[in-house]
Each structure stands twice: as structure tokens, then as C-alpha cells.
Amino acid sequence: MSETDHVSGRQIAAGRVLAGIGQDRLAKLANISVTTLRRMESSEGPASGLPNNVRAVKAALEKLGVRFIPENGGGAGVRLKFNSSEVRRIATLEGEGGIVADDDF
């Protein structure tokens, strides 16, 4: 994983709460199981799991406006790029398309 991929389980959990979505919704957006997400969120230190899964969760949260703040000596954290009503609107739009599947062409 690259430096920018390092994210803690607590950052994932905090980011999800800031975005106002549940574990079921985030797992669906990241295309992982809820069990995998729970394991990530309960990790002490860096989020546990396959690097692709951690990146998928981080990317899903970033689409909802969550910004991950690196340690940089001041303490790692998360913040929202958007206000809470904008985050809810983005989450609604993300879910309107249904399940992504291969085309039949």
C-alpha cells in the first residue's frame, strides 16, 4: 500500500459516521461484505483487510465528501468536504443507479 492508502480502522468508522451512512450502505458502496467492513473498523492501527478492499472503502467515503487527514505529527483524523445535507444528497444519487452489472452486449 502507498503512503496515501494508509488509513486506520478508527478513521474509517469516524468517516462513515460523519457521512451519515450505516455499515450496510458503506459495504455496498465499496462492494465488500459487512463482516469485512466491521473487521476493518475494529482494527487497532492500520485498517486490516486486503489492500484493494481498504482502498475501495476509502474511495467510497471520499466520494461522500470524507477527507482523510494524515498523521503528520498532529494526529490522524477525518473531516467532511461537504456539509451533511450535501453528503445525504450524494449518497442518494450514488444509490439510484442500482447494482452495477456487466452489459449483455
Residue 105 lies in a domain: no
The tens digit of pLDDT for each residue in 34-79 reads 999 999 999 988 999 999 999 999 999 999 999 999 888 778 889 8
Residue 23 lies in a domain: yes
Q: What is the mean pLDDT of the chain?
A: 84
Higher pLDDT, 7 or 93: 7
Its domain, for residue 45, covers: 3-95
Higher pLDDT, 16 or 90: 16
Residue 104 lies in a domain: no
- pLDDT in the model for residue 19: 93
| Residue reference for cell 468508522 | 13
- Type of residue numbered 44: E
Rg of the Cα trace of the chain?
A: 14
Residue 32 lies in a domain: yes
Residue 101 lies in a domain: no
Q: How many domains does the chain have?
A: 1
Residue 100 lies in a domain: no
Please state, in angstroms and rounded to a whole number, the distance separating the CA atoms of residues 76 and 53.
Answer: 20
Domain CATH number, residue 8: 1.10.260.40
Helix (H, G, I), strand (E, B) or coil at 5: helix
